[in-house]
Amino acid sequence: MGHRERVQLMVGDWMQRLISPGKGYVPCPRKLQMFVWRLRHESLVVCANLMRRGLKLDQSKCFFCGRAEEDGAHLFIKCKHVKQAWRELGMEEERSRLEEFTSVHAMLDALWGFSEKKRVLVITLWWQWWNIRNEIREGELAPGVTETIRRVRCGALEYAERFVPKKKDRQEGKWRPPSADELKVNLGGAFIPGSSFCGWGAVIRDSTGHIIAARAGRHEQNADAFGAEIQAMAGAVALAADIGAVRVIFETNSQLLAEALDVRKTDSSPYAVVIEDIKLQLKLWFARHRYAHADEVRIP
């Protein structure tokens, strides 16, 4: 077997572990999985790796602090700037544990000892950090740590929704009717990655399960799955207001949406304006409203 085949086999094996549920699986998009793979094989083009390959660089120092030579350990774990990000993420303890390892392999193995949720957070942080590092190299301004961590949390939450396989033994949710003085709106958005629009639908039922109203729509200029859920919520609110609903339960299976609509939090995402408008509409039209989060509710 030639070197090339061996490498392909190795890559295939590692990728397989990453993309198939079970040990080593990372619930995140392929680009992040590839990123981790490159990290593990030290083929990320950090300055230290380039120089090891014999490249002469004008600038080989860390793009964040400008002090230490840039290598993976410094960039992702030891730099004072990335340390601040870890702290903001509430994971300083985990960071210092990873700092003790001298080899990338041992460190990543330790990372695999973390809970899946933490592992995804760390990988998402590194991925964001790597992108910011490349932006700085291109002469762009880096976003603040708070904004970076917001993106990390948002990303990790989205991956959990999209990529974590649903447990089979988890009881499939049954649609539960609202009480007699309430109406329930089930809503959902649909988005196909790569397209520029989304679809959404909303159905209102009463306590007997009868459909009172339903509406579906299409929204142009939509960039992601979260945007689709937001459009669904906006459509659902409008529909409920149109029929004069007073007490309403909005049921969605998007945890991200439920969090975004949490009145105590201010959102700073690109959807902030739409979200604030939805919150305002909710206050304006309904005497009482609440959200229910449902995993795979089967609607009769």
Strands 288-293 and 247-252: parallel
Residue 13 main-chain phi, psi, to 5 deg: -65, -45
Which among 204, 213, 200 has a CA at the least distance from the CA of 184? 204
Smallest gap from residue 46 Cβ to Zn ion (A): 11
Based on CB atoms, which residue is closest to Zn ion, 127 or 271?
127
d(CA 115, CA 122): 11
Q: Which is nearer to Zn ion, 72 or 189 (CB)?
A: 72
The nearest distance, CB 74 to Zn ion, in angstroms, is: 6
Task: Tell me whether residue 132 or residue 256 sits nearer to Zn ion (CB atom).
Answer: 132
Q: How far is the CB of 119 from Zn ion (least distance, A)?
A: 24
Say how far residue 215 (Cα) sits from the centre of its chain. Answer: 28
Minimum distance of Zn ion from residue 128's CB (angstroms): 16
Q: Kindly list the residues in this chain that would bind Zn ion in the complex (CB under 5 A).
A: 62, 64-65, 79
Q: C-beta of 50: minimal distance to Zn ion in Å?
A: 16
Nearer to Zn ion, 74 or 151 (CB): 74
Stated as kind and residue range, the H or E segment containing 39 is helix 30-40
Angle between helices 104-111 and 92-99 (to 10 degrees): 150
User: Which one, 35 or 64, has the nearer CB to Zn ion?
Assistant: 64
DSSP H or E run through 46: none
Q: Which is nearer to Zn ion, 62 or 202 (CB)?
A: 62
Burial 214-233 (b: 16+ CB within 10 A, else e): ebebebeebeebbbbbbbbb
Tell me which DSSP letter residue 208 carries.
T
Helix/strand/coil (H, E, C) string of 64-84? CCCCCECCHHHHHHHCHHHHH
Query: In this structure, are residues 14 and 37 in contact, taking their beta carbons and an 8 Å threshold?
Result: yes
What is residue 279's three-state secondary structure? helix
Burial of 83 (0-12, 13-18, 19+ CB in 10 A): middle
Query: Is 204 in contact with 239 (CB distance < 8 Å)?
Result: yes
Residue 144 vs 165, nearer CB to Zn ion: 144
In the complex, minimum distance from the CB of residue 84 to Zn ion, in angstroms, rounded to a whole number: 11
- The CB-of-66 to Zn ion minimum distance in angstroms stands at 7
